[in-house]
Amino acid sequence: MNIRTATRSGGRSARRALRTAPNFEMLPGLTRVIPLCEVMDDAQVERIDAASMDILENVGVQFRDPIALEDWKKAGAKVEGELVYLDRGLVRELIATIPSDFTYHARDPKKNVRLGGKHSIFVPMTGAPFLRDLDDVRRNPLLEDLAMFHKLSHMMPALHSSAHHIVEPYDHPISQRHLRITYSSIKHSDKTFMGMTTSPKNAEDVMDMCAILFGEEFLEDHPVTTGNCNGNSPLVWDETMLGALRAFCRRNQPVLCSPFVLGGANTPASVPATVAQLNAEALSALAYTQVIRKGAPAIYGHYLSTVSMKSGAPMAGTPEISLMNFMIGQMARHYGVPWRTSNTLGGAKTFDAQAGYESATTLQAVMHAGANYIWHSAGWNEAGMHCSVAKFIVDAEQCAMAYRMAEGPKWHDFDQALAAVPDVGPGGHYLGHPHTQDNFQSAFFMPELFDNNSIEQWQTEGSVEITARALNRARALLAEYEEPKLDEAKNEALLDYIARREREIPAAYELNQSY
């Protein structure tokens, strides 16, 4: 019996069908009301700021890009070879022009989301060279696997973006892959998305595709996508990332300025000193965005990990990562810029208890740190080497739970709920009370993927553990998926653009630096 038939027939079965019907409606961008966890006092914030400015003025940052070096000379910075020495006054003057918040505009305007201040969004993981698929098999991804993740992103209420290359589609040449990735992000979801920055030319292609989708003039004052530019810690920005950064900034599109931190390996073996170096790196790139285009939106970014001194491998979920998230949140607020962090990271090789503990630890820290652009929020495992379908589904539900927590207590029905206390009295129960009947679905979050039944019932139902439950859920979601159709003229224009660029870019040209 479908939902409409059940509704017409009335009665308990109709109400049950409505309760259990899948809800794919995206949650609005999160407005956080819970208190921030701030582990530094004002003097310590100033101490980190002073240390970072000392690094910028006296150690310098290497910009391995002739265009950037000329830009810095024109901006008044001291440049010696590839080293740029940034006066703190210049840095402060430049970052002061970064918007403290802005609104992302999605293909579906109902899915626009605000970012900055108390406003946050959840974004899936990206960049995995492998996946664990619907059969939990680890293998190389194809374009159809990427499409699957974009469809799941579209259907998960707490995910506000389809991201971009959640997994790498190995069935397309590296030099042309960005075109198909961007089209998949756009085609299979009408949420906001990310833009590839794997080369300056690739970034320009993404901007052209955004102009086809939204209109060139619209881009001028409407953020529609996000670029990510990773630094090479310690204190290096390279030509590829800087060229991609310029492509986004010139079109007034937001860029994540993200030092890539492996604490103890490419930063000092100290939490405060690591934050001081990371802060200097982020500030240097944030300042450069404003050299390119004053007032362009930019986001204080980073990737955080600590390194195992036993093996040299990156770790997830450690207490130091949480502490650094708290500290970086304070620094970003000190400068008045939105900030990005990484969310449900796992180092486990399968979706096991280690993956759950690591992800939950980081998720809680990120929420209390006050992050805005909450990236890698679904699927990340094996230090980012694979995206797990099972973990993707559970992570997305965890984000929905975190969303509910960050909204804070709901007081709208406090008096009505309190009135139930004398009605029930000592020794009674509230299960049959009218207030409970009216509010039980919304009063408390009810996870779909956690099993809270008795062990007898769990065994009767097949002793299904969470990985299998999540994969069953993913299959059910994909069976329900309905594509949010693109405007036909825009779709044809995008496909024509892709076809032309694939003719122009040699399939063997790995990074498309020239075509």
What is the DSSP track for 381-445? EGGGTEEEHHHHHHHHHHHHHHHHHHT----TTHHHHHHHHHHH-TT--STTSHHHHHHHHHHS-
| Burial of 352 per CB tally in 10 Å (0-12, 13-18, 19+) | middle
Spatial separation of the C-alpha atoms in residues 316 and 314, rounded to whole Å = 7
Query: In the CATH scheme, what is the homologous superfamily, with its name and number, of domain 94-407?
Result: Trimethylamine methyltransferase-like (3.20.20.480)
pLDDT for 515 equals 87
Mean pLDDT of the chain: 94
pLDDT tens digits, residue range 216-269? 999 999 999 999 999 999 999 999 999 999 999 999 999 999 999 999 999 999
**Pairwise CA distance, residues 298 & 276, whole Å:** 20
As a whole number of angstroms, the longest Cα–Cα distance in the chain is 79
Q: Residue 21 has what pLDDT?
A: 59
Distance, CA of 440 to CA of 85 (rounded, Å): 60
How many alpha carbons fall within 13 Å on the CB side of residue 45?
A: 15
Label residue 512 by pLDDT band (50, 70, 90). Answer: confident
Give the pLDDT of residue 14.
54
Place of tokens 């955080």: 304
Check: pTM over 0.85? Answer yes or no: yes
Task: Give the pair of three-digit tokens for residue 106.
Answer: 């999605």
CA–CA separation, 71 vs 66, rounded Å? Answer: 9
Q: Per-residue DSSP letters for 180-199?
A: HHHHHHHHS--SBEEE--SS
DSSP secondary structure code for residue 59 in this structure: I
Cα angle at 152 between 150 and 158, to 5 degrees? 105
What interhelical angle do 353-369 and 389-406 show, nearest 10? 30
Domains of the chain, residue spans: 94-407
What are the pLDDT digits (tens) for 107-142?
999 999 999 999 999 999 999 999 999 999 999 999
User: Is the pLDDT higher at 12 or at 388?
Assistant: 388
Q: Which residues, other chains included, contact 220 with Cβ-Cβ below 8 Å and sequence gap of 6+?
A: 251, 252
Residues 94-127: b if buried by 16+ CB within 10 A, e if exposed: bbeebbeebbbbbbeeebbbbbbeebbbbbbbbb
pLDDT at 441: 83
| Tally of CB atoms within 10 A around 297 | 25
Question: Length of the chain, please?
Answer: 515
Q: At what angle do helices 434-443 and 414-424 cross, to 10 degrees?
A: 130
pLDDT at 311: 85
In one letter, which amino acid is 17? A
| Phi and psi based region of residue 69 (left: phi greater than 0; alpha: psi -120 to 50; beta: remaining) | alpha
Q: Which of 188, 197, 258 is nearest to 225 (CA)?
A: 197
User: CA of 402: how far to CAs of 116, 180, 360, 468, in Å?
Assistant: 18, 32, 10, 23
